[in-house]
Structure 1
Amino acid sequence: MSDTLASSEIVREFWSAPPAPLNEAEAAAVTEEIRALLQQEDAVLVAHYYTDPAIQALAEATGGCVSDSLEMARFGRDHKASTLIVAGVRFMGETAKILSPEKRVLMPTLEATCSLDIGCPAEEFAAFCDQHSDRTVVVYANTSAAVKARADWVVTSSIALDVVRYLKDRGEKLIWAPDKHLGNYVQRETGADMILWDSACIVHDEFKAKALEDLQAVYPEAAVLVHPESPESVVKMADAVGSTSQLIAAAQSLPNPVLIVATDKAIFYKMQQAAPDKLLIEAPTAGNGATCRSCAHCPWMAMNGLYSIRDVLQKGDQEILIDEAVRQQAVRSLQRMLDFRKP
């Protein structure tokens, strides 16, 4: 198994600059262009909670979807549109294509990847699984189509605990990949026999327990909301731990007037809708003077922009294509996930 790359190494090797910010007039003009193109191309916009709020607002306004990766997959599969525009990172577009091979799946940029995907190369992972052939292979959705094809189950953070408890009750021993922090959290909560792949999200890995403790001293009335891709020391400080959709629900239900949130800050768009009267504060990452490009926001999610959505609708040149043999293998593990948690 490869050692986990440092955040700075991953960003330097794979990251491209995000689009320049738009002024109000530019955003309004390109939004109208996109609206017309979506209708013209029989397309629907599916956006993740971590994309720019302007993209999330556009998806909402045009009958699309803003959600976590599980609901993105389900929405794209079930929607009648013949073209899916997936604003997120590449594994989300691949998941849409695996489940909807008959549809054209386009992304604003195919360069938008994920540190967890990068950190779990398919050939290395397959060799690792072969060394532990007696174990059931469970992979997080943040992986390539080829890794999903090698897996028995795919899970998102919203159903990881339930799936692993189910497998444990069946007496199964597991391989978990790729996020070690999420895997560690699931292992602690379930007591399952798990071997963990060594990789981490460059955003969540940055959250710091000591700095969070200092921030809590400033806001003693605050609740702490943490995504389980964060380090164990941060997760242990949480009032609520969960997936993006679960954290939004917690923001709405918790009585605290202030919420410190340890996940990508773009979630604030939907979280503020759910809890309009609450103050939302980013959990501390590398601290003042940090030079990381990942602090509290995924650099690849930031590569999605309104102009790139317009351009891909016009040109159709950022299309997700998957080898059919790989797709047929990957769809089995994905379908298990969807069947396990039917709406």
Structure 2
Amino acid sequence: MLFKKNFSTLPIKKKVQVLTTKENSTLVDKIKNQLLVRNAVIIAHYYTDPEIQALAEMTGGCVSDSLEMAKFGSCYPATTLLVAGVRFMGETAKILSPEKTVIMPTLKAECSLDLGCPYEAFSSFCDEHPERTVVVYANTSAAVKSRADWVVTSSIAVKLIYYLDSLGKKIIWAPDRNLGRYIKNKTGADILCWHSTCIVHDEFKTQALKNMKKLYPDAAILVHPESPQQVVELADVVGSTSQLINAAKNMLQNTIIVATDRNIFYKMQQLCPDKQLLIAPTAGEGATCHSCASCPWMAMNNLKAIYEVLTKNSQNNNYQIQIDEIVRQKALVPLNRMLSFAASIDRNPKIVR
């Protein structure tokens, strides 16, 4: 099933007032104080602005991918989780930590994959193929997760599909068609893909990347599997956000071209400060540059918004994640399956190919 891209929901880019160093420092101090007052912790995604990632680190919070964000929140003793990311990340945190207050700088921070996989349409699609096991990516709503048999992240997606394929399972994969195609090519599994894309990763251009490689012939190319197949085929390493960060640290090349959100460079540069990091091109033939290697919804998280949400009433529905309890319990089942599977891989990597 194919949903056409609809960019009418993209946030309007507003002129951001640049803070002076003193104003920025004062705001950070106010946020630190509010975190103590609220017994709150900041959980930020790798794709948020570097100043938010730095704030999360300096206040004892977490900077990671979406699953680790939720796991951190469930284990951390704070009673309020401030999720700096997009809505599905806040929902995942709430699914795993129902007793905690989960707030976000704005609930309008969406994800194109989530928007491209509405619950009613997806549920009907699954009903048309009752013989198939439903596997959904973490980048989906709580409602879509509640319809799934498994939830998965890009870091273990290939391993899980290998496992399900070994059991003779036929798969429905949603929502990212690029990641679904990559997994299908890797595993040979019988996969029926939902056809949504990430507006960031789908913008990387093959010919422009080839031209860039000519300029930097010794550079390694790192690609997230949500990118188009032709871009993936040019990669030296294909992997999840955390896997790309580790690859940048461990590889011998000093110049690295990266095809994912540019804000990943904050963490990469920490781990390999002497390496040259270059963003893969989104310009070229067929370019629209709706994202330009930076998620516009992630950009809705900023220091002012974080301070404002921390000073609001905790019951303010404009900032707090709320999930119907029946939906939450249903979504928790496939999430827990994933967590158990990931833990079993850590204990015994030989259980999958």
- Scaled by the length of structure 1, what TM-score is found? 0.96
Distance in 1 (alpha carbons) for counterparts of 2:150 and 2:134: 6
1:330 maps to what in 2?
331
CA displacement at 1:181 relative to structure 2: 0.2
* Residue number among 230, 233, 236 corresponding to 1:233 in the alignment: 230
2:82 is the alignment partner of 1:85: yes
Q: Shift of residue 287 of structure 1? A: 3.9
Kindly state the Cα deviation for residue 143 of structure 1 after the two structures are TM-superposed.
0.4
Please tell me the residue identity of whatever aligns with 1:270.
K
Q: Kindly provide the amino acid, as one letter, of the partner of residue 73 in structure 1.
A: A
Paired amino acid for 1:143: T
2:133 maps to 1:136: yes
Letter in 1 for 2:4: T
1:3 correspondence with 2:34 = no
- Asked if 1:204 corresponds to 2:197, the answer is no
| Counterpart amino acid of residue 11 in structure 2 | W
Q: Which sections of structure 2, spanning at least 5 residues, go unmatched? A: 347-353
Question: What amino acid maps onto 2:300 in structure 1?
Answer: M
The reply on whether 1:308 has 2:308 as its aligned counterpart is no
Task: Give matches, 1:50-129, under 5 Å.
Answer: 50-129=47-126
Distance 2:223 2:125 in 1: 30
Name the CA distance, whole Å, in 2 between partners of 1:37 and 1:230.
39
The one-letter amino acid of 2:74's match is R
Contact 2:203/2:289 (8 A) holds in 1: no
Does 205-214 or 25-34 show the bigger shift? Answer: 25-34
The counterpart of 2:174, out of the listed 155, 173, 177, is 177
Rounded Cα–Cα distance in structure 1 between residues aligned with 2:183 and 2:2: 22
What corresponds to 2:350 in structure 1?
Answer: none
Q: Which residue of 2 aligns with 1:242?
A: 239
- Corresponding pairs, count: 339
Q: Is the 8 A contact 1:258 1:279 kept in 2?
A: yes
- Is the 2:205–2:287 contact (alpha carbons within 8 Å) kept by the matching residues of 1? no
How far, CA to CA, are the matches of 1:169 and 1:20 in structure 2? 54
Letter in structure 2 aligned against 1:149: S
Alpha-carbon shift at residue 58 of structure 1 (Å): 0.4
Deviation at 1:267, TM superposition (A): 0.2
2:186 is aligned, of 186, 189, 214, to 189
Tell me which amino acid in the other structure corresponds to 2:21: E
Alpha-carbon contact 2:200-2:260 (below 8 Å) kept = yes
**CA contact 1:145–1:326 (8 Å) conserved in 2:** yes
- Kindly report the root-mean-square deviation, in angstroms, between the aligned alpha carbons of the 2 structures: 1.4
Name the aligned partner's letter for residue 71 of structure 2: R
Q: Secondary structure at the match of 2:134?
A: strand
Q: Deviations over 1:61-85 (max 9, x none)?
A: 0000000111111101111110000
- Answer yes or no: is the 8 Å Cα contact 2:10–2:296 preserved in 1: no
Q: 1: CA distance between counterparts of 2:259 and 2:154?
A: 14
Structure 1: any 5+ residue segments left out of the alignment? Answer: none
Offset of residue 17 of structure 1:
3.2
In the alignment, residue 264 of structure 2 is paired with which amino acid? I
TM-superposed deviation, 1:27: 1.5
Matched residue type, 1:13: T
d(CA) in 2 for partners of 1:253, 1:247: 10
2:253 aligned with 1:252? no
Q: CA deviation at 1:20?
A: 3.7
Q: Structure 2 length normalisation: TM-score? A: 0.93
Q: Does 1:13 align with 2:9?
A: yes
Deviation at 1:222? 0.3
